[in-house]
Structure 1
Amino acid sequence: MIVRSATDADVPALARVATSSYASGFRDILEPETLASRDEAFFAQRFAGELASLRVAEEGGRTIGFSKVTDTHLDMLFVDPAAQGTGGGGALLAEAEARGVRTLECFRDNAAARRFYERHGWRLARAYERDFLGKSRAFVFYEKP
């Protein structure tokens, strides 16, 4: 498993991973039309301007996941659904923690993500609702002691 900085050449693969992860991980949380708006073109455009904050997980030369970090906050951590359980998420999280990441937010109802973070020593700090894509949504905020 390799975790490295993202480059322009990674954008299509990152967009593919983000799209499949959104569709798989949030299908019971977000509406179908909301999920449809988060397609590869959406993510490719977004990631093109954020390469410095992105890290890529590769296995055998194939992009299997990525993380996005702002300061000490983990903004995104997605692993291709076909590669979940292979260590990519753990490698990305460890790399982010080594760079000083100490907080993250996820959907309250994303049970798989919550189990993953809690297995890695993250602690629930608070639950709340906030606007996300025009609707009030339930979130949880985690901290790493």
Structure 2
Amino acid sequence: MLIRPSTPDDQPRLFEIWDTAVRATHDFLAPRDLATIAAMVRDEYLPTAKNLAVVVDHGGQAFGFLGLNGSHIDSLFVHPDRHGQGGGRALVEWAARSRAALFVDVNEQNKGGRLFYERLGFVEVGRSSRDHDGRPYPLLHLRRALRAA
């Protein structure tokens, strides 16, 4: 397993990972909201995101990615065929290397995501009743202290 910066050539595969992962873990999203979010990820987020890291297998195939903005994890998605195999954990540990803390927002209804972050030592520090775009999907704000600041 290797972690490397993403390149523009990765964008189609990253969108495929995002789409497959979201369909497997975000069954609470209304179809219309899913379509709106997918268009935003494909057309706006992936082409312009800075600090995207990609985890690839030994054959060079990307199977997960993490977007980082300072100490905040903006995105973390692993292809469902690779869930539970250490790719997500490796990406979080990669992000943690030079930070005193990490922050992430996770949909409250995403039980698997919540458990994943809890297993990595994240704790809830707040809650919003709606997502960042005002949709009725509550967010849990999580923090993981990594080392003394």
Q: Which range is displaced more, 80-89 or 133-142? A: 133-142
TM-score normalized by the length of structure 1 = 0.89
State the SS of the aligned residue for 1:141: strand
Which segments of 5 or more consecutive residues in structure 2 lack a partner in the other structure?
A: none
* Contact 1:22–1:38 (CA under 8 A) maintained in structure 2: no
Aligned residue in 2 for 1:125: 125
Distance 2:32 2:53 in 1: 28
State the SS of the aligned residue for 1:130: coil
Please list every run of at least 4 consecutive aligned residues from structure 1 whose deviation after the TM superposition is greater than 6 angstroms. Answer: none
State the percentage of identical aligned residues: 27
Aligned residue in 2 for 1:66: 65
State the SS of the aligned residue for 1:3: strand
TM-score normalized by the length of structure 2 = 0.86
* Contact 1:19–1:43 (CA under 8 A) maintained in structure 2: no
Does the C-alpha gap of structure 1 residues 80 and 131 become closer, same or farther in structure 2, counting only changes over 3 Å?
A: closer
Does the C-alpha gap of structure 1 residues 99 and 9 become closer, same or farther in structure 2, counting only changes over 3 Å?
A: farther
2:52 to 42, 47, 54: 54
Shift of 1:116: 0.6
Does the C-alpha gap of structure 1 residues 118 and 136 become closer, same or farther in structure 2, counting only changes over 3 Å?
A: same
Aligned residue in 2 for 1:109: 109
* Contact 1:65–1:80 (CA under 8 A) maintained in structure 2: yes
Q: Structure 1, residues 55-99: CA drift from partner, whole Å, max 9, x if none?
A: 001012111100001111011100001111111101111111114
Aligned residue in 2 for 1:138: 138
Confirm or deny that 1:10 pairs with 2:10.
yes
Aligned residue in 2 for 1:21: 21
What count of residue pairs does the alignment treat as equivalent? 142
Distance 2:61 2:40 in 1: 21
Structure showing the higher strand proportion among its residues: 1
2:41 to 43, 59, 62: 43
Which segments of 5 or more consecutive residues in structure 1 lack a partner in the other structure?
A: none
